[in-house]
Amino acid sequence: MLAGKKLLFLLGNLELGGAERQALLLARHLQEQEGAKVEVWGIGERGRVSDICEASGISWQQIHLQFGTSSAANLLKLLALTGKMRCVAPDVLLPYTWFPNVLCGLIWRFVGCRVSIWNQRDSGISLNPTRAVHRFAAKLTPYFISNSTHAAAFLMDRFGVERERLAVIPNGVRLDPPRDDCHVWRLRLGVAGNDFVGCMVANFSELKDHGTVVRAWRLVVDQLAVRGQRAVLVLAGRDDGTASSITSLIRELDLEGNVCLLGAVDDVAGLLASCDIGVHCSEHEGCPNAVLEEMAAGLPVVASDNDGVRMVLGDSAGPFLASHQDAEGIARRILQVALDRGYGARVGKDNQQRISNRFSFETMCRETAQFIDHALRNHFY
């Protein structure tokens, strides 16, 4: 459908987060399977996205773009970006996350492309319908993709996006083969065969609630210690501003021997294969990649109750969800799995099957390619 078409992805940065991971999965598919000409641009410094693009044979560029308080200076920067994109002459712009979405909404018609597709990757927490520039950008954008029904409802209710211009396409997940096996990873983590290991894969930012997970883990450690069992929590993700406060909390709760901060991890599949449970706490989610990956790895998942996690876990999610910032509730649910490993294994198997049925990488790519083709055939500006 898209053979020979030029598709330009615009990312808010070149570091690897959930949205960037989804963009790269799609970019690789469109280039390798659809025959599209793909470029990935990211705002800011080189990061892991750049490395993955080079390894995958995808053309990429870094864009230096920082807006200030001067409207005239900002306009010049916007015009420079427009000119740079115009030189590439893309058929389609595919921005990911709110800032690129707004930028492309404002400039896409001046770039000379045929269509721009807004990709809504969170529940709308960064968009403000009272800001004129956000409303204007959304009004100018011809098509939208949302990775969740609740984020789609936000766009329709707060920004007046018509349903016929909006596709709901959940994230798809594909775990790469583990680089190291479970045994190697558990040796690396310093855990024994009978130790109970939990994992939260999330960058350390204000958007993620590592604090509740750590407080819950204190309770889990105490309960399992009574039974002669050790519990280890692994926190994997880059520091986006909150790692130091979490490190202080770990020290305050005397959990240095039970909580491990790994930083960014390339071998996510290997790490998850060494764990017994996934834990994910946050107030808001779109379609959380980390939860999808934990489910794909065959893990039970305990999480904060929000629309995104409920959508991913499905109708049987209730016993695994606790209210936002409810450390005791999270701990109780973790202990249900820790004290009955057979139960955890059955739940993990069900989670794995749900990923295969509802959140496959192939389905996400196929439906997105079909929507891009639809947008190209029906563009009306």
By the 8 A CB rule, do 367 and 169 touch? yes
Weakly modelled stretches of the chain, pLDDT under 70: 380-381
Please give the radius of gyration of the chain, using alpha carbons only, rounded to the nearest integer: 21
**pTM for the predicted model, two decimal places:** 0.92
Q: Which domains does the chain have, with CATH numbers?
A: 6-172+360-378 (3.40.50.2000), 182-358 (3.40.50.2000)
By the 8 A CB rule, do 317 and 354 touch? no
| Cβ-proximal residues to 323 (8 Å cutoff; 6+ apart), any chain | 304, 305, 329
Give the tokens for residue 310. 């409920």
Residue with tokens 């409802």: 153
Alpha helices in 119-228 (DSSP H): 132-140, 149-159, 182-189, 210-226
CB atoms within 10 A of CB 328: 13
pLDDT for the residue numbered 128: 94
- CA 118/CA 127 separation, integer angstroms: 13
Give the tokens for residue 282. 């946050």
Q: Is 9 exposed, middle or buried (0-12, 13-18, 19+ CB in 10 A)?
A: buried
- CA 170/CA 145 separation, integer angstroms: 9
| pLDDT tens sequence across 228-282 | 999 999 999 999 999 999 999 999 999 999 999 999 999 999 999 999 999 999 9
pLDDT for the residue numbered 380: 52
By the 8 A CB rule, do 235 and 200 touch? yes
By the 8 A CB rule, do 152 and 120 touch? yes
Length of the chain, please? 381
| Cβ-proximal residues to 147 (8 Å cutoff; 6+ apart), any chain | 22, 119, 120, 121, 168, 169, 170, 171, 286, 287
